Structure 1
Amino acid sequence: MKVTVDFEECLKDSPRFRAALEEVEGDVTELELKLDKLVKLCIAMIDTGKAFCTANKQFMNGIRDLAQYSFKDALVENSLTKFSDTLQEMINYHNILFDQIQRSIKTQLQTFVKEDIRKFKDAKKQFEKVSEEKENALVKNAQVQRNKQHEVEEATNILTATRKCFRHIALDYVLQINVLQSKRRAEILKSMLSFMYAHLAFFHQGYDLFSELEPYMKDLGAQLDQLAVDAAKEKRDMEQKHSTIQQKAALQDYSSDDTKLEYNVDAANGIVMEGYLFKRASNAFKTWNRRWFSIQNNQLVYQKKFKDNPTVVVEDLRLCTVKHCEDIERRFCFEVVSPTKSCMLQADSEKLRQAWIKAVQTSIATAYREKGDESEKQEKKSSPSTGSLESGSESKEKLLKGESALQRVQCIPGNAACCDCGLADPRWASINLGITLCIECSGIHRSLGVHFSKVRSLTLDSWEPELLKLMCELGNDVINRIYEAKLEKVGIKKPQSGSQRQEKEAYIRAKYVERKFVEKQAASVPLLESGTKVLPPSQEEKRHSGPEKSLLAGEQGAASQKEGDKQESSVFCDSKQPSPGLQLYRAAFEKNLPHMAEALAHGAEVNWVNVEENKATPLIQAVRGGSLVTCEFLLQNGANVNIRDMKGRGPLHHATVLGHTGQVCLFLKRGANQHATDEDGKDPLSIAVEAANADIVTLLRLARMNEEMRESEGLYGQPGDELYQDIFRDFSQMATNNPEKLNRFQQSDSQKS
């Protein structure tokens, strides 16, 4: 069984790490016993030649025992089982080859036990010693009183030195474990294969039997060569990772922290934060015990060992408060108080105490916010007072929320009734489909999953300007012409507002998930998969082959002119439709959202790649087309903002080159990697600096500063500085409602040319 111990967990010294060590140490002990047994049996076979048959049978039993022990490694188990079965037939042949047996079995396996396993044991002793020293240093550091400064400094220095030594020895120990686990199978199989070849060469009477085994043995020999190569590669990779982790650990400031703790309220495993804390017992002695604490599932829990069931300290974080404690002798203490009890905790440093307090406070706020969403839905919306004096920021928020979003979206044709059941005055929307829904249909849409429908409230949620504009570009009529094109042909009756929920659910699933009512695409032009066309060169192909800036300057007007004609025509009018991916690709450049929605309905991959045009994606084409709403539509439907073309340029690169400030702002908000470089080694910031585009340089630098600030303060998963959010909000407003104000770069650039 190959057991690997994670280097990252080694630095944390978590219960998971200790449990993994316990499992590995037991496994190596068991392996040593098995190998020692096999070697001793071999020696007995050599020394007792007259009783060879008996000794040989015992030895085969040892091989079978090792094979059963290796049941999780099919190669080892199958090989040893096959060899032992063959040897069972050879017991009657007494041609003994003791010298070869001694070289193949006794020497090799004893060397492995005496050298490799001995190294493991030595490393284990060093690790146990330094681990005990670290625990003593931690306890001493925790017990020292705050008013004894000399003892505080001495304890801190001892703890720092002990931690540094622990990290070094622990990483070496983990490396020794992983190298041993990688090498063991090759050593066992190599020795056994040598032993079997000795029998093949000298047991002439068993030639016929071994001739049947020989092809398998040769194949295993070839596999051994590959195993040796793989083992060497694994060793190099582990040594490299060992070095990287060691360098990373050296760079981090561990002067007061055992490990770098982070908290994330949106963590996938539900654990917001975890780490060691001292807990004061509630008994009369008030003893302090070190336990592994974690914030998860709106609770504060701890455990002594990894396999123990967590003990709940706080059942519901919404009912508790957290505060500093300065009135006791111990340092770095804080108290979590609930209505029924209080819990006194102590961190290892002031930095960790602040991190834990902030994590608890953030979890409390998150729990209230999640619970508050339900109560907000029950509140009646209030219309804005015409005589009230509102600040600029309040007015801006009201433009994006409540009545304004509801009125603007419901003005679109067909949006005054639910898209799926026809109920009047819908208050919910699917933002990636661009439709309005009643509350019951919105619940069904939520159950489909966000990859099919993303539901948002028109009255309770805040709406970004580009998202609101996207809703106004589509609407129920457009989407129903696509997703209900064959409704009458198939004879399905559309549910009404009074229909049963089961009927609505079946209809909605058939409409959006199975797409049963979408008109099949007309005869497609000849295409190769992945975007290769077999068409004669057309104006469409020429349009994408030139440089990006000339493409915009020379043909954007023609594309805009075509757009008006295509809006009036049916989305199904083309007699020779391209593939859905190519249709999405072209429609993205032409800013034709109905055609894009149609392509997705026909199964277009949103990250489709056109290999004839530098592996550009529809999102890159949307950037070239200059439409912010088109980019938003693709992103809401799952487009990857970091896919790059053959030149190494992603959507953020292209938006920067073309000076599309609004798109740069959008991509940064959607998590675009601004550190990625193209084939010339340029990232978006260097491109914007060369082009002297002040707006884009400002956005990129602000985003980079905000990212660095969040990393330095440990605010992973948090939105960041309020000033940063305000500036990006202003740019989004301007890009959506007043794009001419952001055209300074394009205008000055065209004047120069």
Structure 2
Amino acid sequence: MGLPTLEFSDSLLDSPEFRERLQCHEIELERTNRFIKDLIKDGNMLISALRSLSLAVQRFSQSLREFQFECIGDAETDDEVNIGERKQLEMIQNADDVLISPLERFRKEQIAAVKEEKKQFDKETEKYYSVLEKHLSLSSKKKESQLLEADSQMSKDRQVFYDASLQYVFKIQEVQERKKFEFVEPLLAFLQGLFTFYHEGYELASEFEPYKQQLQFNLQNARNNFESTRAEVERLMKRIRSAEEDFKAPSCFTMEGYLYIQEKRPLGSVWTRYYCTYEKSSKMFTMGNTETRPASRQNGLVIGSPEMFRLRSCVRRKTESIDKRFCFDIEVVERHGVITLQALSEANRRLWMEAMDGKEPSVLFFSSCFTAFLNEAGFNFVKKCIELVETRGITTLGLYRTGGVNSKVQRLMTSVFGKMKDFFYFSEATTTITSGLKNYFRCLAEPLLTYRLHKEFIKAAKYDDHKYRVRAIHALVHKIPEKNRVMLDLLTYHLFKYVHNVTCYVLIVLSSGFSEHPFFINAENMSILPTALSPFFGDRLQTSDS
């Protein structure tokens, strides 16, 4: 069973489920740390044993030389023994350099960096929730200037906490991905040296060669996937970081997050923090009490038994009617009277009010970026790009891996799709044309294989049987709209010609597919899981094509 996905949007929500998933990753990294320590210990024992073996061979060789038994070919035998001793000493020294040192470096640099990020995250978590409770306890009767100053300071503290949370999740994702190749590469190098040393194991080393070659391709693919996924994840992190305060993360609930609920007591009332969810279609409102542990373990939460209610109405609480800010009242079927809730901010209250059909207006934010469409202009642009690429550099290695100058690519896109249609800029370099082609597919309003069929394509790509996988993907391709299929035929036929015109066939299949498949398929909701599944779909698609 794999690790649960860590989403940047969940880190802003800071739900108990997010903390549980975060703990799973922390446990896995600690297990990796212990495993590397044991491997280094066993590796040192192996190197020590090899040194003992080398000394024993030298003593045996010395005994043979002192025996002085005349025979034909003894000089050659002595030479071979000396060569063997030198090779063995080189292998022992090489084992320490290629196996022990890289593993120790990975453990000290990468895993230690995650632990430092965790300390910073725990520190900011403790500080944030402490400041938040003080902020929410401010009286609404204070001067407006004091409240505005408090809001401004709270916003800064919240941003510091969000940054620490995002950075911690990002570092965990990075180390989990680095582990896939920085942990395997030293083992591969050590095994290569070990097999090279044993002369009588030459046939075994020959049998190892195909596996080593495949592993090298897999390592290259893993490294390429890491670079691509890391770039996508970093862009996603920046998007989440720059999102407005009323950003709502993708979720199975209409709204979810922390709310403070007023609880009546014999001597007044207290405000208790609950993690609440609301489903608009069923009007089900759920709240679970969360008991915060001591300050030294602030990131640990104990979740009480959740209570479920059916919402009847939701009304914003007037400021002058209560001594707290950001409040609203709800009525539920199962209880008499109203339940007073306090949101974390004005924007957060707007989102809850919107979800519960309250009186607050809905505010949505859209990004104003360029959107491409499968229209006549788009088809003409793609055909022109393909024609120029096939005329100029169809045999160029790494054609779609080398990016063009960003300003020139933007100028090309503006000249073609702007108000002043102009094909003059097609005289640009081939890398500008290929980058423009990739940029067009990246900016499509919907990927070629459509959002609707995304899950079905991923499911089909997971089938282990090659023939069944090919038939399943083939059937799904015929379900996409006609324009999408025509464009897909144009692009795949171009890539087919490109692959078969390059000398390094095996390597270019991996490279070309890796460069293009994110534009074929993507999920509608941008998150880490679709980003991680996208390279997997490309790999299975390449296997199907081959």
Query: Which residue does the alignment assign to 2:117?
Result: 123
The reply on whether 1:38 has 2:30 as its aligned counterpart is no
SS at match of 2:141: coil
Offset of residue 131 of structure 1: 1.9
Q: Which amino acid aligns with 1:260?
A: F
Offset of residue 317 of structure 1: 2.1
* 1:577-598 superposed Cα distances (whole Å, 9 cap, x missing partner): xxxxxxxxxxxxxxxxxxxxxx
* 1:708-739 superposed Cα distances (whole Å, 9 cap, x missing partner): xxxxxxxxxxxxxxxxxxxxxxxxxxxxxxxx
Offset of residue 272 of structure 1: 2.6
Q: 2 CA distance for matches of 1:5 and 1:606?
A: 32
* 1:393-438 superposed Cα distances (whole Å, 9 cap, x missing partner): xxxxxxxxxxxxxxxxxxxxxxxxxxxxxxxxxxxxxxxxxxxxxx
Q: Is the 8 A contact 1:4 1:177 kept in 2?
A: no
SS at match of 1:11: helix
Offset of residue 37 of structure 1: 1.4
Taking a change above 3 Å as real, the CA distance of residues 109 and 284 of structure 1, as seen in their structure-2 partners, is farther
Query: Which residue does the alignment assign to 1:324?
Result: 317
Q: Is the 8 A contact 1:301 1:313 kept in 2?
A: yes
Q: Which amino acid aligns with 1:346?
A: Q
Offset of residue 98 of structure 1: 2.1
Taking a change above 3 Å as real, the CA distance of residues 52 and 274 of structure 1, as seen in their structure-2 partners, is farther
RMSD: 3.7
The reply on whether 1:187 has 2:169 as its aligned counterpart is no
Q: Is the 8 A contact 1:144 1:151 kept in 2?
A: no
Q: Which amino acid aligns with 1:20?
A: R
Query: Which residue does the alignment assign to 2:271?
Result: 288
Query: Which residue does the alignment assign to 1:299?
Result: 284
SS at match of 2:95: helix
SS at match of 1:213: helix
Taking a change above 3 Å as real, the CA distance of residues 199 and 240 of structure 1, as seen in their structure-2 partners, is same
SS at match of 2:166: helix
Q: Which amino acid aligns with 2:30?
A: T
Offset of residue 282 of structure 1: 4.4
TM value normalised by structure 1 = 0.38
SS at match of 1:38: helix
Taking only the aligned residue pairs, the percentage that are identical comes to 25
> Structure 1 stretches of 5 or more lacking a match?
54-93, 364-604, 617-642, 647-753
Taking a change above 3 Å as real, the CA distance of residues 347 and 109 of structure 1, as seen in their structure-2 partners, is same
Query: Which residue does the alignment assign to 1:609?
Result: 482
Taking a change above 3 Å as real, the CA distance of residues 349 and 228 of structure 1, as seen in their structure-2 partners, is closer
The reply on whether 1:225 has 2:226 as its aligned counterpart is no
SS at match of 1:108: helix
What are the within-5 Å matches in structure 2 for residues 489-500 of structure 1?
none
Query: Which residue does the alignment assign to 2:92?
Result: 98
Taking a change above 3 Å as real, the CA distance of residues 245 and 307 of structure 1, as seen in their structure-2 partners, is same
Q: Which amino acid aligns with 2:260?
A: F
Query: Which residue does the alignment assign to 1:738?
Result: none
Taking a change above 3 Å as real, the CA distance of residues 349 and 226 of structure 1, as seen in their structure-2 partners, is closer
TM value normalised by structure 2 = 0.52
What are the within-5 Å matches in structure 2 for residues 462-541 of structure 1?
none
Taking a change above 3 Å as real, the CA distance of residues 109 and 321 of structure 1, as seen in their structure-2 partners, is closer
Q: 2 CA distance for matches of 1:279 and 1:289?
A: 5
Query: Which residue does the alignment assign to 2:26?
Result: 25
The reply on whether 1:178 has 2:173 as its aligned counterpart is yes
Q: Which amino acid aligns with 1:32?
A: N
Offset of residue 175 of structure 1: 2.0
Query: Which residue does the alignment assign to 2:255?
Result: 273
Taking a change above 3 Å as real, the CA distance of residues 260 and 284 of structure 1, as seen in their structure-2 partners, is farther
> Structure 2 stretches of 5 or more lacking a match?
55-86, 291-300, 360-477, 492-546
Taking a change above 3 Å as real, the CA distance of residues 168 and 609 of structure 1, as seen in their structure-2 partners, is same
Q: 2 CA distance for matches of 1:116 and 1:162?
A: 28
SS at match of 2:272: strand
* 1:591-615 superposed Cα distances (whole Å, 9 cap, x missing partner): xxxxxxxxxxxxxx9986389xx96
The reply on whether 1:208 has 2:193 as its aligned counterpart is no
Taking a change above 3 Å as real, the CA distance of residues 607 and 43 of structure 1, as seen in their structure-2 partners, is closer
Q: Which amino acid aligns with 1:25?
A: E
What are the within-5 Å matches in structure 2 for residues 510-589 of structure 1?
none
Q: 1 CA distance for matches of 2:344 and 2:251?
A: 27
Query: Which residue does the alignment assign to 2:79?
Result: none
Q: Which amino acid aligns with 1:165?
A: V
Q: 2 CA distance for matches of 1:330 and 1:192?
A: 61
Q: 2 CA distance for matches of 1:357 and 1:240?
A: 31
Q: 2 CA distance for matches of 1:132 and 1:14?
A: 15
* 1:76-135 superposed Cα distances (whole Å, 9 cap, x missing partner): xxxxxxxxxxxxxxxxxx967321211121111111111111222222222221222211
Offset of residue 239 of structure 1: 2.5
Q: Is the 8 A contact 2:311 2:331 kept in 1?
A: no
SS at match of 1:260: coil
* 1:125-178 superposed Cα distances (whole Å, 9 cap, x missing partner): 222212222111211111112223376345323311111222223222222222
Q: Is the 8 A contact 1:186 1:224 kept in 2?
A: yes
What are the within-5 Å matches in structure 2 for residues 432-447 of structure 1?
none
Higher relative contact order (CA 8 A, sep 6+): 2
Q: 2 CA distance for matches of 1:115 and 1:607?
A: 47
Q: Is the 8 A contact 2:311 2:330 kept in 1?
A: no
What are the within-5 Å matches in structure 2 for residues 413-452 of structure 1?
none
Query: Which residue does the alignment assign to 1:169?
Result: 164
Q: Is the 8 A contact 1:95 1:202 kept in 2?
A: yes
Query: Which residue does the alignment assign to 2:539?
Result: none
Q: 1 CA distance for matches of 2:483 and 2:22?
A: 50
Taking a change above 3 Å as real, the CA distance of residues 348 and 38 of structure 1, as seen in their structure-2 partners, is same
SS at match of 2:106: helix
Q: Is the 8 A contact 2:125 2:161 kept in 1?
A: yes
The reply on whether 1:196 has 2:188 as its aligned counterpart is no
* 1:503-545 superposed Cα distances (whole Å, 9 cap, x missing partner): xxxxxxxxxxxxxxxxxxxxxxxxxxxxxxxxxxxxxxxxxxx
What are the within-5 Å matches in structure 2 for residues 353-752 of structure 1?
353-361=349-357, 609=482
SS at match of 2:96: helix
**For the pair shown, which has the larger CA radius of gyration, 1 or 2?**
1
Offset of residue 298 of structure 1: 2.0
Q: Which amino acid aligns with 1:191?
A: P
Q: Which amino acid aligns with 2:286?
A: V
Query: Which residue does the alignment assign to 1:347?
Result: 343
SS at match of 1:147: coil
